[in-house]
Chain A
Amino acid sequence: MLSLRNVSLTLHDKALIKPFSLEIAPGKIVTVMGPSGSGKSSLLSFIGGDLDEAFTARGEILLNDERLNDLPPEKRGIARLFQDDLLFPHMTVGENLLFAVPRMPQAERIAAMRAALEQAELMGFEDRGPHTLSGGQRSRVALMRALLARPRAILLDEPFGKLDRELRVSIRGFTHAHIAERQIPALQVTHDPEDAPPGGRILKLTATGEVIDV
């Protein structure tokens, strides 16, 4: 369970997001929509732990009742997906995945990595460089990499924004299915109402900074 309590966001004394609270149950995806510059991405940065110093954020972030506010990003257990897949260009596909696997015997790490490759239907791509992959393949690797870190929550920052229409539908389905299957609470921001999973909760950020249910 990912909980936000009285979270608000200001930039140079301008209130971007007025205090609001939110609870996301395991396996559920809450979608936040709003115009550009409304502070959607900054909200994710605040939860992820790398908000730019120019912003001031208030309120509590709780994950299964543990307060995250003072933890560095790497200790929060919150995976993130961006519009760009951000695969590390100097590592192979396999190494990109392994990078996310927590400390355990190497054989088990490799097994986890191979299992992820299989789920992404990318068997045999282990030693390929990321630049040899198609856009859809890259997106799947990026998702698998995020999931391999065994996150306790996941933040999606317009993750399908750069994909073409057809691919968008399939990657979206792939992503949502994996999140639901693993029972991870997820928060996503997007422009496209279709990105929200069927029946999922959708919040809207208004120009005045109110957060309202749609």
Chain B
Amino acid sequence: MKIHRLAALPLFLIFLLPLALSLALILPVFADAAAFKALLNHPQFWGAAGLTLFTGLVSTALSLICALMIIAGRIDKPPQAGAMLALPHLSLAIGLSLLIMPAGLLARIIALPFGWTSPPQWVTTQDPYGLALMAALVLKETPFLVWAFASLLNRDDLRQSFAGQRAVARSLGHRPASLFLRVIAPQLLKRTVWPLVAVLAYSLTVVDMAIVIGPTQPPTLAQLIWTDLNDAEPATAARGAAGVLTLCAGILLLLMVVGLSIRLGRPHTGKWLSGPPGTGLHKISFLTQIWGLWSLFYSAIVILLLFQSASGLWPFPNLLPEDFTLSAWVKLLSDGGPLLTSFLLALATATTALVATVVWLEGMRPSRDKILLWLSAFLLCLPSLLIGLGQYRLFLALGITGTALAMFLAHVLPVAAYVFIMLQGPYRGFDGRWQATAAGLGQQRAIFLRQIKWPMLKAPILAAFAVGFAVSIAQYVPAQLAAAGRYSTLTIEAVTLSSGGNRALVAAYGAALMALPLVVFLLAQWLSRPRWRMR
């Protein structure tokens, strides 16, 4: 492969440089000893830390287990999870709480036969252990992992190699459950380390979902930090920044512990991997059929959001609102500006991030990827408020706040991080022999890329674009700061309106926020369908 130093330039300009400068501008301001002391003395700190660790680790583990089970059951035809990725975290949390809260749909269904007139005193949301939050995270992250696994299983080279390995393993006496866990799953996991890190980081730092459905006494650490960072009092904001650094350090430590225990545990895993055929695993293989639950749940969420968006007064225990009104949708659609801004920004940032990433991957040595992966994961761990503030100071110094350029830069940063994380694995996993074959046939590199490599990598490339698009749509804090009130996006409108608690309006925006990325995901899915089904 030819190495071009300049290939790093686009990603450097839109990602590395802004990120480094933002951090340099924001971190020293906040990191003082008094702030850390104040953090440790916060009455809720230890409780929040414990809750965060519990919800983050358990939900990540459960998401992984569910995703593996789902893939195990449909390894020949992995489910299409892309569309589910389009549902924003916030919309999902809102939809889930509309379903399970004491005045939610489930309670209403039960209330009818039992004759309840007021909502039951269920602890279904805001439960002290964060179980509802964990459920929301598992519901959201499982499709993401399923999708990551599926994009591997849909790769022609891996597909063939896995098919052969499975045939061998079965001929050696291993049942499908055993061979999946021992032969396929370890190889999938090895290739999805970064998406897994992203899931863990997200679960440990999620704010918007926690606000909707998580507990308050104590809240998760991310919520605690969020409240502090939002405070106008510099000392309180500094305590929040100390919290961010603590949380980041904690995540790094956790990753190191996990990495180390995987390494130290290698002899034991090896023993398990090479275990004899005939374990009892097949007895729970019916669990691999749980994918239907996801389809069911996501459909229910979308229907519930649409229904709620058109509802007027809806007293308990009525199954239907007393009246229907389209006022929320009228409100949303009457000003097309934010919708268009969101769309154009997402299109521009996802395209730029994709091009910059491909240029990097084509031009740089694979060994250089690591730093970018770490930085991307680090960025995903940081609360958006912190990075948003740093970025904002950078824009102020450059004098570009409230300009289209600032909006673009603020959105492209997280988009680039996600696109790189999503695309790096599949792109680097591309079999180099194809290029050798093409070169052997006397083909130019440009022709090879255009006619062979990119068409073969069509699915992961389009998926990375779709993820980038969705990430751009969902940006709130950095967007809001960079816009300085000169631009509005769909998300800015949604978040500001949701603080008033008008459920119909919140639901309408939740549905609208989902619609744009959904179209892009479905389009990407359709475009990347295999030309023919492999035998």
Contact = CB atoms under 8 A, between A and B. Distances in A.
Interface of A: 48-50, 52, 54, 72-80, 82, 84, 86, 88-92, 94-104, 106, 109, 145-146, 148-149, 151, 155
Contact of B535 (A52, A94, A99): A52
B270 A73 contact: no
Contacts of B273: 90-91, 95, 99
A149 B170 contact: no
Interface in B230-280: 270-271, 273-278
Contacts of A106: 271
Contacts of A80: 167-168, 171
Contacts, number: 91
Contacts of B275: 98-99
A80 B270 CA distance: 23
5 contacts: A76-B171, A78-B171, A88-B165, A91-B270, A99-B275
A86 B170 contact: no
Given A74-B277, A86-B164, A151-B171, 16 more contacts: A48-B167, A52-B535, A72-B170, A74-B173, A74-B174, A75-B173, A84-B164, A86-B167, A89-B187, A92-B270, A98-B274, A98-B275, A99-B169, A99-B174, A100-B173, A102-B277
Given A52-B535, A84-B164, A104-B276, A99 B171 contact: no
A145 B274 CA distance: 11
B458 interface: no
A86 B168 contact: yes
Contacts of B190: 90
Contact of B278 (A50, A54, A76, A103): A103
A209 to B, nearest CB: 20
Contact of A73 (B165, B167, B183, B271): B167
Nearest to A54: B535
Given A84-B164, A90-B186, A146 B274 contact: no
B186 A109 contact: no
B183 A145 contact: no
A72 B175 contact: yes
Given A88-B165, A89-B187, A95 B171 contact: no
Nearest to A104: B276
Contact of B170 (A73, A96, A145, A146): A73
A82 B164 CA distance: 8
Nearest to A83: B164
A10 B508 CA distance: 56
A78 B187 CA distance: 25
Interface residues of B, number: 26
A22 B170 CA distance: 24
B182 interface: yes
B168 A49 contact: no
B340 interface: no
B171 A149 contact: yes
A94 B278 CA distance: 19
A146 B167 CA distance: 12
**Nearest 10 pairs of A and B residues by beta carbon:** A98-B274, A95-B274, A73-B170, A103-B276, A80-B171, A100-B172, A149-B172, A90-B186, A86-B164, A99-B274
Nearest to B183: A88
Contacts of A96: 274
Contacts of B167: 48, 50, 73, 80, 82, 86
A72 B100 CA distance: 43
A79 B172 contact: yes
A194 to B, nearest CB: 25
A197 to B, nearest CB: 21
Most chain A beta-carbon contacts within 10 A, residue among B172, B175, B271, B276 = B172
Contacts of B270: 91-92, 95
A8 to B, nearest CB: 20
Given A86-B164, A90-B186, A91-B270, A145 B172 contact: yes
A102 B275 CA distance: 9
Contacts of B170: 48-50, 72-74
Most chain A beta-carbon contacts within 10 A, residue among B164, B171, B182, B275 = B171
Nearest to A154: B171
A145 B270 CA distance: 16
A80 B171 CA distance: 6
B164 A99 contact: no
B379 to A, nearest CB: 30
B167 to A, nearest CB: 6
B254 to A, nearest CB: 24
A86 B164 CA distance: 7
A84 B161 CA distance: 9
A77 B187 CA distance: 26
